[in-house]
Structure formats: C-alpha cells, structure tokens
Structure 1
C-alpha cells in the first residue's frame, strides 16, 4: 500500500521546484518570443539617448565627477533601461493575464505564494540581466566603458531587477485595465527613474532636491551600478546596498501577501 500523505505536506516536497522553474521559464519565453521589442528596442533607445546627448552637448560639456560626461552617462542609461524592463516584464504579464481572463491558469497549479513570486521575479531578473549585458557590451565597444568592479554591478542589477519586478507585480495586480498600468508607469516609474541621477550628479542639485533624491531607491540603484562600472558615485555603495535591500524586502513582502490572499486576482 502506498504511504498516506500527511496533512499539509505536498507530494512534491516543501518546494515545488519544477513548478517554480516552469513559471520562470514561461516568463522568459514570453519576452524572448518578442525579443525585438523586449531586448532590441531597449538597446536602440539607449543608443539614441547617448547619440542625442553626444550631438546636443558633445565636447562642450565638461567632466562630471572627474570623468567624461558620456562615460558618466552610460551607467545611468544602462540602469534606467534595466529597471524599466524588469518592471514591464512582471506588470505586463500579470495585467495581460487579468484582462484576458486566464490568470486562473497561473493560480490553479499547486504553487505557493512564494513560488509564484519567485517565478515572476525570475523572469524579471532574466530580462533585466539580459538587457544589462547587451547595453554593457555596447558601452564597452563604442564608449570604452568597462567594469571596474563587476561584483557591485551584478549586485545592483540583481537588486534593481528584484525591486522593479516586485513593483511591476504590485502594479499588475492592482491594475484592472492597461490604462491604469500605463498611468502607473508614466506618472510614477518613469519620473522616478529620470529624476534619480541618470543624467546628472545630484551634487548639482539644490540641498532640498538632494534630500529628495536620497529618499529615492532608484537613485541608489543607478549610483551603485555607476560605482561598479566607472568607480565614481554620489554616495557609498554600502548605503545603497542597505537602502535597496530594505526596499526589496518591503516590496517582495507585499507581493507575497497579495499572492497569498489573492487580492484583486480572484473573482
């Protein structure tokens, strides 16, 4: 006779590794099926930003924090593209599933809230990391910008993808229409990304604006990647690690709670 399964113990163990990996793989295949939009388009946008600043400012702009302006700009463009891609991956996936009415296909399998969150974040990390690699290669080839400390770059790209993937999950769960999702992206994510030291050092800002920038987790993600790539930053990467890590814990905790309760997911 087969052994009875104890109450509360799933037959595939404490963690459904196969189910979690399947969800992650689905999220990766989802954005890779339209790679021209999800990978190539961010690369082109990053290149356009750099080209426009080169043409508009060029050699007229002096050094920033002791490095050429285009060298200073490259890490900011890379990080901004990474966080926008990670946010778009989870938010569009959840919002599309809700609008199309097939979110039940994700909720029905034997996956816990933690496994669901891990699967979605795995897709966001993969997309953010792939975009980071592509843009970093372009920056190295065309601008000569390398990686002075790859470990810090890896840490902040990973944490930035987790934070923005989590925020994307929150936005995707909360939004019932694509219009609501677009509003969150246009009026919250994009302004915070642009006003976080992407194109400038916050030392050039008035004291009040500097204080606001230090309250923006996006600033620490961009600043940390910049430190890893070119060795200069507006703040200590250790402080950035603490702030971004804490923000990730808060955001992921909200995702776990909403997935566990089925908030705005279950009819």
Structure 2
C-alpha cells in the first residue's frame, strides 16, 4: 500500500517539495564521492580509448568513412553514461535495502511516480555530467566537436533515463549485493559491450546483426554516434522512437514495482 492509498494528500497532485528533496538527495549522493562517480569514469573511458588506439587503431583503416578513434569515441561515451546511470539508481536502492533504511524513503508521502522521478533525477544527472566531462576531454585530445549538439544532448538524456529506470527495477529485484553484481555482470555489461560500441554492426553476421538491432542500447550508442560524428548504422529518427518507447516501458515497470511495494514489504 502506497502513501496515497491512506487518503487524499494535502500536497495536490504532485508533492513537489518531496520530489525535489529526493532528487537533491540522489544528486548529492554521487557528488559527495565525485572521485569515484565522476573522475573514475573519465579515467576508464580514457583507458579504453588509449588501449584500442594502441592495439588496433594504427593498423585499422577508416570505419564508416571516419578514423577508427573518432568512430570509437561516441560509443565509449554512451557506454560510460549508461553504466553510471544504472549504477546510481540501482546502488542507491540496494544499499538502502541492505542497510534497512529504505523506510526513510518510503515513509514520506511520495507516490510511485514521484519516487521514480526522484531516483531518475540522480541517474540522469550523473550520466549527463559524465558525458559533459568526457565530451570536453574528447574535444581537448581529439578535437572532436559534436555534429549535432542538441541531438547529442537528447540521446544522453534518453540513455540516462532508460538505464536509470532499469537500475531502479534491478535494485528493487535484488535483495543482496551479489544479486546486483550478477545483473550488472551478466546483463548490463554484455548489452553495453555487444551493441556496436567498438565496431560497426554491419560487420556482424546476419543473425547477430538482427539480434543487435533488437537491443535498445544499440540505438542509444548509434544515435549518439550520429550526433557526434554524423555517421550511423541506423536511422537516427528510428532510434529516437525506439529509445523513447523503451524508456517509457521500463519506467512504467519501475513505477509499478514501487507502487506495489515489490520486494520492499517485510
């Protein structure tokens, strides 16, 4: 039973103060450990770029008409964004459940939708800040300037929202850290790595190509690649539609899980 089932709230349709407080808590949560949540992803993205450049960048020709390093950069950026957005929401919920203080979030008069938006604010904000830091680094090191800046922003926000909502669902499902680690290692990481981050899907066999096109993360990576360097494996408009529908669907699932108290009730 949610707070709104107990009677009519005196806050109106939206508890703006409660929503702002939860969102601010989620943002401050990752800002307070910025070396782990913001600096570390930058280092990881840089290492990926350096390793692939040293290993095969000098010997491989252009990919889709652009240098391999330029092709690689947007995929690494989106992979970092979605991993951090997922980690922010999922870890917040799992840690609260394990420590037993999830009740502090459930007791205030917040609806399921407000809880989803509050948690998503932290995940999207972390993904956006990480993207801006990496974009600045790519501009300084590679001279890479987004071909379509507004579209790049849209895809970053969609990526953060999609994986943030998925993180909420995963955090509610997992009751222990090892369950969360299993979801990250066996679902999230493979989906991110096998979605065209490091290669064009046109190089895949037909069956794997079709499987990849069924993965929403592929469209996030491919869409950001188009926004950054102007080339892509699929139509950017199609990617926007698929990513938007997938984000709404997983957000609805997260809302339903929170509204019904899935794995939150004793």
Q: TM-score range by the shorter chain?
A: over 0.9
Q: Which moved more, 1:196-205 or 1:57-66?
A: 57-66
Tell me how far 1:8 sits from its aligned partner: 4.8
Shift of 1:149: 0.3
- How far off its partner does 1:12 sit? 2.1
TM-score, structure 2 normalization: 0.97
In structure 2, the residue matched to 1:119 is: 118
Q: CA RMSD in A?
A: 1.0
Match of 2:145 in 1: 146
1:221 paired with 2:220, answer yes
- Indicate yes or no: 2:38 matched with 1:39: yes
Shift of 1:234: 0.2
* Count of residue pairs brought into register by the alignment: 261
Question: Which residue matches 1:86?
Answer: 85
Instruction: Provide Cα deviations, 1:75-107, integer angstroms capped at 9, x if missing partner.
Output: 000000000000000000000000000000000
- The whole-number CA distance in structure 2 between the counterparts of 1:262 and 1:207 is 42
Q: Alignment partner of 2:58: what SS?
A: helix
| Residue 182 (structure 2) aligns with | 183
Runs of 4+ in 1 over 3 A off after TM superposition: none
1:14 maps to: 13
1:193-250 CA deviation, whole Å, 9 max, x = no partner?
0000000000111111110010000000000000000000000011101111111111
Render the CA deviation track for 1:34-85: whole Å, top value 9, x for unaligned: 1001000000000000111111123211000000000000000000000000
Distance 2:232 2:143 in 1: 19
Residues of 1 paired with 2:187 and 2:257: CA distance?
21
1:3 is aligned to: none
Question: Which digits, 9 at most, give the CA deviation of each residue in 1:133-184, with x for residues without a partner?
Answer: 0000001110111111012111111111111001100110000100000000
Residue in 2 that maps onto 1:98: 97
Q: TM-score of the superposition, structure 1-length normalised?
A: 0.96
In the aligned structure 1, how far is the partner of 2:120 from the partner of 2:57?
Answer: 38
Determine the C-alpha separation between the residues in 1 that align with 2:100 and 2:265: 11
3-state secondary structure, aligned to 1:60: coil
Which consecutive unaligned segments of at least 5 residues does structure 1 have? Answer: 1-6
Deviates further, 147-156 or 215-224? 147-156
| Residue 71 of structure 2: aligned partner | 72
